[in-house]
Amino acid sequence: MVTVLRKKPINPKMAMKPLYWTRIQLTMARVEKPKPEPPSEDEDTDDSSEEKTTEGEQEDEGVKDMEKEEKPEDKEVKDAGKEEKAEDKEVKDTGKEEKPGDKEEEAEDKSKSQTLTKKKSKRSAKKKRISGAPLWDLLEEEDFDETEFVDLFARQVAQPKKEKKKEAKPAKVKVAKVLDSKRSQNVGIFIQSQHLDIADVENAVYNFDMSVLDQEVLQQIYEVRGSEAEVTMIKAQQDAMTDIPLDKPEQFLLDLSKINEFAERTACFMFQATFAEEVENIHSRNEMLHSCIEILTSDSIKKIFGLILAIGNYMNGGNRTRGQADGFGLEILPKIKDVRSKEANFTLLHFVVNKYIEKYEGAEAGTEQVQLPIPDPYM
């Protein structure tokens, strides 16, 4: 017995996309033909077998003749039996009495038997379908349009990319470098990041035009400018080798040095741009100085501090580590407003202010003539 696949392999017109399913295969058995046995070498055995077959045939013919002679006697016995059965049948038919409802009952019995046979046949068919051949053995593959299917689901063949023609890169032009590597790198990065053009720098410096370059960039250019020694070395290199161009950082510093009074012009421009801001800073510092002098020399400040010292010693009277103080740290001043009283929205700061006004302002208390005893922080 050899197992053979039921279906032949399919060769699509084009390579198709795979469908990753679990394959079920039904096989069928093929019976191999028996191979003929080779003839025996002994001739004596063949002769004896032939003699045996002839003797057996003669015996079989004698038995058949005996059976033919016995058959007429058996025939007479069978005919006598048939006559007896016919007589018995006549006796039974005479003994039966015809009833009026017998025919109807027979019709009902026939219909019931037919319905039962139909149900049994259906059940047997279902059992055959369930326990018989599997579903895959009963299914037949449907025809479909292979051309359309191939167009839709064929594997896309990656087309080879067209090789781009390698353009011959121009040979790198040899440039002259004078600055050290770190200095040259910093200047080159600054030029590329700001996209600087020497013409824009000249326009900003000569015409005080900040539309292209802002103040910060101009300040950075001022700080990155070349020193006198660097400019001298760059000029010497250019004069010595006129056929070799300068590198970008060296060329930029050389162009800056050619702007008339670049450093002085840029310094004046920066001073003008930052003058108002610097004056404001000086004014705020001057105000701070006057406030410090007033705090040190003001009598009203001393009275307020004396009032706070007395109240604090009274509150810490039962504590030997905090009571009986001759002074206090200034860090307690912003914390006075956090000491709350029994009344809502009334703190120790309110109490200190009220007592100062009652004691030192007198008749002017509650009027506009009362002055703030400390420097105004918003002035």
Q: At what angle do helices 348-356 and 299-315 cross, to 10 degrees?
A: 130
Distance of alpha carbon 8 from its chain centroid, rounded? 44
Closest CA to 248 of 183, 175, 180: 175
Identify the three-state secondary structure at position 199: helix
The pLDDT value recorded for residue 280 is 93
At residue 271, what is the residue type? F
Model pTM?
A: 0.39
Tell me the pairing of strands 2-5 and 27-30. antiparallel
Closest CA to 173 of 250, 246, 255, 254: 246
Count of H-run helices and E-run strands, the chain: 12, 2
Q: Could you tell me the domains of the chain?
A: 181-284 (1.20.58), 299-364 (no CATH)
Q: Is the dihedral of CA 304, 328, 333, 340 positive or negative?
A: negative
Largest Cα separation within the chain, whole Å, is 173
Distance CA 143, CA 146 (A): 9
Q: Which residues in 85-105 are b (16+ Cβ under 10 Å) and which e?
A: eeeeeeeeeeeeeeeeeeeee
The pLDDT value recorded for residue 189 is 92
Distance CA 3, CA 26 (A): 9
What are the structure tokens assigned to 290, written together? 């006057």
The CA–CA distances, whole Å, from 156 to 14, 151, 152, 153 equal: 10, 10, 10, 9
The pLDDT value recorded for residue 139 is 62
pLDDT in 10s for each residue of the chain, 379 residues:
555 666 667 777 777 767 666 666 666 655 555 556 665 555 444 544 444 444 444 545 544 444 444 444 444 445 545 555 545 554 444 444 444 455 566 666 666 666 666 655 555 555 554 556 665 666 666 666 667 666 766 767 777 777 777 776 766 778 888 888 899 999 999 988 988 888 888 888 888 887 878 888 888 898 988 888 999 998 998 888 888 888 899 999 999 999 898 888 888 888 888 899 999 999 999 988 988 888 888 888 888 888 888 888 888 887 777 888 888 888 988 898 988 888 888 899 888 888 888 887 766 666 676 677 777 665 5
What are the structure tokens assigned to 96, written together? 């039966």
The pLDDT value recorded for residue 318 is 73
Question: Using the 8-state DSSP alphabet, how is residue 269 labeled?
Answer: H
The pLDDT value recorded for residue 283 is 92
At residue 303, what is the residue type? K
Beta pairing partners, 154: 16
Non-local (6+) Cβ contacts of 206 within 8 A are: 259, 265
Distance CA 156, CA 154 (A): 6
The pLDDT value recorded for residue 96 is 46
Identify the three-state secondary structure at position 302: helix
The pLDDT value recorded for residue 282 is 94
Q: Which residues in 235-261 are b (16+ Cβ under 10 Å) and which e?
A: eebbeeeeeeebbebbbbbbbbbebee
The pLDDT value recorded for residue 150 is 66
What 156-163 contacts at long range (C-beta under 8 Å, 24+ apart), as own/partner pairs, is 157/15
